[in-house]
Amino acid sequence: MTPAIELVDVHKDFGGTPIIRGVSLAIEAGTRQALIGPNGAGKSTLFNLITGKHAVSRGRIRLKGEDITGLRPYAINRRGLSRSFQVTNIFPWLSVLENVRCSVLWALGYRYSFWQRVERARDVQERADAVLEQLNLTARRHVPAGVLSYAEQRALEIGITIAGGADVILLDEPTSGMSRSETEQVVQLIREVTAGKTLVMVEHDMSVVFDLADRIAVLVYGEVIAHDTPERIRASAAVQEAYLGVPQTTG
C-alpha cells in the first residue's frame, strides 16, 4: 500500500548548519503516529519541510505517492494534507465562525470566487456548523478568535486544520501549555476528528503519545533513530539512552 507520507533521504540545513540529516520515513495511511525527540531535534523543521513552509536542501517528499517536493504550502494543502502549529496560528480579527468557514472554502471548491456569497453557501454553513459543534465552540461562534481563551484557541487551531477534510493531518504539539483536564479533552477531540485519517503529531506529553499513537518515530539530532510500535519504542535501549532516559516521562 502507498504510504500517506514518504520521506526519502531528506536533508535540511540553515546557513550551512545541518538540522535534518538524511531522514527516510514512511507513514502508513490510516495510522496515528507520533514524532518525538528532545528539544532541537528538528521535529518542527521536519513538519515545515513536509508542509512546504521550508524547502528541502536535498531529498524527496511524497504525499500519497505523489512527489510534493518544492511545492508551495497551498498546493500541498490542496492535495489533502493539513497542519496545525505549535504557536497558535489563527485569524485573530475574524470571528470563530469565519475562521472555520475560511478553512473549508477551498476544499469545497469555492476557490477565488467573487460571484457567490459565503453566507448563502449551504455546504459551507453546514460544514462549519458541524466543525464548531465538534470543537464545542458553537456558543462562541461570533466572538473574535483573538479573544478566545488559550484552550479555546488551541481547539480552534485544530478545527482550522481539520475543517477542510484533509485526510493527512499533521499536529504540532496540540496539547502544549494545557492542564491535565484540558489535555484529556484535546486527546478526545483528536481521536474523533482523525478517525479513519492519517495523523502525525509532534508531542512532548508521553502519556498522550502512548495513548494515541499506533507507531512512534524518534528523531534525535536530525536523524530518525527508531520508528516502531509504542511497546518496542518503550523497550528500545537506543531510545532509552537517547531520549527516554528520564523514567517519569514515560508515564
197 interacts with other proteins by CB under 8 A: no
Taking the CA atoms of 127, 94, 87 and 55 in sequence, report the sign of the dihedral they define: positive
Please state at what angle helix 96-104 crosses helix 122-135, rounded to 10 degrees.
120
Query: Is the Cβ of residue 81 or residue 209 nearer to other proteins in the bound state?
Result: 81
For other proteins, which stretch binds (CB under 8 A), given 11-19, 99-107, 177-185, 206-214?
Answer: 99-107
139 interacts with other proteins by CB under 8 A: no
Is residue 12 within 8 Å of 22, Cβ to Cβ?
Answer: no
94 interacts with other proteins by CB under 8 A: yes
In the window 23-52, what residues touch other proteins (CB under 8 A)? 51
Nearest approach in angstroms of CB 138 to other proteins is 13
- Cα-Cα-Cα-Cα torsion 232, 238, 239, 240, nearest 10 degrees, comes to 100
Residue 202, φ and ψ in degrees, nearest 5: -90, 130
Of 232, 171, 217, which Cα lies nearest the Cα of 6?
217
141 interacts with other proteins by CB under 8 A: yes
Residue 132, φ and ψ in degrees, nearest 5: -60, -40
Query: Is the Cβ of residue 112 or residue 139 nearer to other proteins in the bound state?
Result: 112
Binding site for other proteins (CB under 8 A): 51, 53, 72-74, 77-78, 82-83, 85, 89-95, 97-98, 101-103, 105-107, 110-121, 125, 141-142, 144, 146-147, 160, 163-164
